[in-house]
Amino acid sequence: MGQDLVEGFAADDFRVSVREVLERAVAGDETANYEFPLLSKQGVRVDILLNATTRRDIDGKVIGVIGVGQNVTEAKAAQAAIREKDLRLQQSQKMQAVGQLAGGLAHDFNNLLTVIGGNLRFLQADLGEVSEDIGELLTDSISASDDGSALTERLLGFSRTEEVAPVVEDSGGVIAELARLASRTLGANILLRTELSDDPLVCRLDQAQCENALLNLILNGRDAMPDGGEIVIRSSLYVHDSAQVSDLDLAAGRYLRVTVIDEGQGIPAHHMDRIFEPFFSTKDSGGGTGLGLSMVYGFAEQSGGVCVVDETSSHGTSISLYLPLHEEVDVPRDPAGAGEGQLTTAVAAREYKSRVILVAEDKARVRKVAVRMLQKLGHVTLEAENAEEAREQMQLNQDIEMLFSDVLMPGDMDGYHLADWTAEHHPKILVVLVSGYTSRRRGGQSTGEAIPLLKKPFSSRQLADFVNKPFDNI
Q: Which band of pLDDT confidence, cut at 50, 70 and 90, is reported for residue 251? A: confident
C-alpha torsion angle, residues 216, 217, 223, 225 (rounded to 10) = -160
User: CATH number, domain at 374?
Assistant: 3.40.50.2300
- Amino acid 334: pLDDT: 37
Task: Kindly state the average pLDDT of the residues 19-38.
Answer: 75
Same-domain pairing of 209 and 245: yes
Look at residue 422 and tell me whether its pLDDT is greater than 90.
Answer: yes
138-154 pLDDT per residue, tens? 888 888 887 777 767 66
User: CATH number, domain at 254?
Assistant: 3.30.565.10
Same-domain pairing of 314 and 177: yes
- Amino acid 370: pLDDT: 92
Domain boundary among 139, 157, 175: 157
Look at residue 373 and tell me whether its pLDDT is greater than 80.
Answer: yes
Q: Name which residue leads in pLDDT, 348 or 428.
A: 428
Q: Name which residue leads in pLDDT, 265 or 5.
A: 265
Look at residue 17 and tell me whether its pLDDT is greater than 70.
Answer: yes
Look at residue 41 and tell me whether its pLDDT is greater than 50.
Answer: yes
Same-domain pairing of 397 and 453: yes
User: CATH number, domain at 62?
Assistant: 3.30.450.20
Asked, for residue 351, whether it belongs to a domain, the answer is no
Same-domain pairing of 198 and 240: yes
Q: Which band of pLDDT confidence, cut at 50, 70 and 90, is reported for residue 6? A: confident
Same-domain pairing of 67 and 100: no
d(CA 266, CA 174): 27
Asked, for residue 341, whether it belongs to a domain, the answer is no
What is the total count of domains within the chain?
A: 4
Range in 75-79, 156-160, 324-328, 456-460 the model is least confident about: 156-160
For residues 195 and 235, is the Cβ–Cβ distance under 8 A?
yes
Asked, for residue 337, whether it belongs to a domain, the answer is no
- Amino acid 429: pLDDT: 93
Look at residue 16 and tell me whether its pLDDT is greater than 90.
Answer: no
Asked, for residue 383, whether it belongs to a domain, the answer is yes
Q: Which residues constitute the domain of residue 283?
A: 167-324
Same-domain pairing of 116 and 141: yes
Furthest C-alpha separation in the chain: 110
- Amino acid 94: pLDDT: 63
Task: Kindly state the average pLDDT of the residues 319-327.
Answer: 88
Same-domain pairing of 125 and 175: no
Task: Kindly state the average pLDDT of the residues 65-87.
Answer: 80
Look at residue 438 and tell me whether its pLDDT is greater than 50.
Answer: yes
Q: Name which residue leads in pLDDT, 332 or 452.
A: 452
Q: Which band of pLDDT confidence, cut at 50, 70 and 90, is reported for residue 445? A: very low
Cis peptide before 457 (omega within 30 of 0): yes
- Amino acid 388: pLDDT: 93
Q: Mean of the per-residue pLDDT values for the chain?
A: 78
Look at residue 157 and tell me whether its pLDDT is greater than 80.
Answer: no
Backbone angles phi, psi at 331, to 5 degrees: -70, 125
Same-domain pairing of 288 and 419: no
In DSSP terms, 236 is beta-bridged to 257
Choose from 154-158, 314-318, 325-329, 467-471 the range with maximum mean pLDDT: 314-318
d(CA 398, CA 314): 71
Q: Name which residue leads in pLDDT, 349 or 297.
A: 297
- Amino acid 296: pLDDT: 85
Task: Kindly state the average pLDDT of the residues 366-379.
Answer: 91
Backbone angles phi, psi at 375, to 5 degrees: -65, -40
Range in 272-286, 374-388, 451-465 the model is least confident about: 272-286
Residue closest to 212 by CA, chosen among 157, 148, 159, 169: 157
Which residues touch 140 (CB under 8 Å, ≥6 apart)? none
Asked, for residue 331, whether it belongs to a domain, the answer is no
d(CA 361, CA 390): 9
Asked, for residue 225, whether it belongs to a domain, the answer is yes
- Amino acid 1: pLDDT: 67
Domain boundary among 71, 105, 120: 71
Same-domain pairing of 181 and 315: yes
Same-domain pairing of 171 and 56: no
- Amino acid 161: pLDDT: 47
Look at residue 442 and tell me whether its pLDDT is greater than 70.
Answer: no
- Amino acid 337: pLDDT: 34
Look at residue 237 and tell me whether its pLDDT is greater than 80.
Answer: yes
Choose from 120-129, 169-178, 222-231 the range with maximum mean pLDDT: 222-231
Same-domain pairing of 189 and 131: no
Choose from 63-77, 216-230, 240-254 the range with maximum mean pLDDT: 216-230
pTM (2 decimals)? Answer: 0.48
Residue 308, amino acid: V
Asked, for residue 162, whether it belongs to a domain, the answer is no
Asked, for residue 409, whether it belongs to a domain, the answer is yes
295-312 pLDDT per residue, tens? 788 888 888 888 899 988
Same-domain pairing of 364 and 456: yes
